[in-house]
Structure 1
Amino acid sequence: MKLQKPSLRTLLTATAAAATLLAVGLPTAAQTQAKYKDEYRMSLVLGIAFPWGQGGQLWADKVRERTNGRINIKLYPGTSLVQGDQTREFSAIRQGVIDMAVGSTINWSPQVKALNLFSLPFLFPDFAAVDAVTQGAPGQEIFKILDKAGVQPLAWGENGYREISNSKHAITQPADLKGLKLRVVGSPLFLDTFTALGANPTQMSWADAQPAMASKAVDGQENPLSVFQAAKLQSVGQKHVTLWGYMNDPLIFVVNKDVWASWTPEDREIVRQAAIDAGREEIAIARKGLVEAGKPLVKELEALGVTVTDLNAEQRKAFADATKAVYTKWKPQIGTNLVDMAEKAIAARK
């Protein structure tokens, strides 16, 4: 069958229709670009003096460089976008008050129960155990849970093992915590853990914690050594530190879902890979001085007049035994299957 050539009138009509579609319906490259914000707000608890803030800065820098400036990110440390209330951060990300964040599993655990996994007392005996969970099947399961909870998770970072300090005396056994007034974050699991150990836990934001220690309103706190060092906690009376490794605080790089959907697939992949790369670098920064022979960071603190007590396995077990009831109570609240998955991954770690 012989095909007929379209008439001039048909061609003109089709051309006009296409022009109309382009004018009113189909976005041009410039129009697509215009959907991007001039600036995206990243929430952080700690600033760039700390490994946590450095992780956020690394992410922001990599994204800006790799997108040729299409995505520009400004850091808001001190959870200033939620008036310093760390436990409100996750809800603010879902609501779009915050565009993206590098957040703590502790701070987000009130909204996402599964994140309490990392706060279970004495679950993680070493860094290899942490990696087995975050980089393995349990970590993937947690990302699925976060996705269902309304944010886009991208990568893992790390605040570190939270070690306990105080202004009174060395802590070597559970009885040494009796009556100590300790600043803790706003997590019910933390309250249960320290109450079980005989301490007097007091919920307090990080912004309020240092003045409280300086004024002796609280006796101590628990945080990674990198935080202790950067915040110079020895200057507010924290003269005794015990390395007990009772829990590790991973960080999670996330983006608000509407923001995520507004980017092209190519830019989403750039942001994801930038988060993975930044997270890997941030973890190395957070562990610096603790994974090398002799733990140089401990030596630096001792040189500042801090007494550092490093518990042996038997001493650590005494604390684990004292908090076993807390572990048992919280396991079903977190999700028995998830905890079992984590325990299995830790047992099989190399």
Structure 2
Amino acid sequence: MTEDPWRKIGREKITSGEEFVRRRIKGQSHAVTHMLDIVKRAMTGIGQSPRGGRPRGVVFLAGPTGVGKTELAKTITSLLFGDKSAYIRFDMSEFSAEHSDQRLIGAPPGYIGYDVGGELTNAIREKPFSVVLFDEIEKAHPRILDKFLQVLDDGVLTSGRGDRVYFSEAFIVFTSNLGIYVPGPSGERIANVTPEETFEAVRSKVRGEIERHFKQVLNRPEILNRIGENVIVFDFIRPEVANEIFDSMVDNLLKDVSSLGHDVTMSGSAREVLRGLCLSDLSNGGRGIRNQVEAHLINPLSRALFDRGAETRGRYRIQAVRPGPSTSIDLVSEQSS
């Protein structure tokens, strides 16, 4: 009997790696706990058959943009496999056309691309022991959801060439923004949930809208039935969590620059100015914070290091300045000692 690769991961890896996951996914303790429970169940192999069984794990991650859904999938991949090639991602906005399922499973005989095979079936055949992310699943054509139903039911998909591809060792992750906005009376998007609401209210509304979408809009309630209780709703990035994310990003950046041999210090006032810029709008969550850190800190530092020459060690001070009515931050290059 073939050895189960999931059991080779080791219990210690998960128990010792839990803190690693929580450090990377901030403000979503409930989501991390639920995800790790699913991983632990996958490792036991309960309910799995050697061939043709359901995927080892199936999870549906929902919530606002920039809150850590995709990052959690990447982090779980790092924890389990330590290999980036085990992370397989599909942007489902690219599969909105009726016949785009052929990209996933391959063209049927007699059609162009038959010999190439499908992107999904090829990937699973080459890397059956993997995390497969279907990003923004709500943007996929309903015909593709019917293909997923085969995977969730039997853990198998037939390629365009007629080959049976098994998902019994794969961990399937769907992400979605469903439930954050709903259609207005004129077709416009209106907010279904806001950061001013409690997480319990956000979770209830988002789950309700997901159920409505699959049952009433798509008329495919069986998809949700197969996922079961593995729908995990993420919270908004709250101000206290945003502060943690900001400090972690800045501290890690300064450490990275120091590891290159440069001496970089940042005044307290400059940090607070940058904090204000990064936290002024949390509508894009952690991704928005990252964008502001890049614009106001990473890019100026990169220019300074490039101008001086990467091999030349430098000393830099990041400080707050007031060139006009508003405060900004400035990078001052000093002589190396």
Same fold by TM-score, threshold 0.5 exceeded?
no
TM-score category of the 2 structures, normalised to the smaller one: under 0.3
- Structure having the higher helix fraction is 1
Q: Which has the larger radius of gyration?
A: 1
Q: Tell me which of the two structures has the higher relative contact order, counting C-alpha pairs closer than 8 angstroms and 6 or more residues apart.
A: 1
TM-score (ref. length: structure 2): 0.24
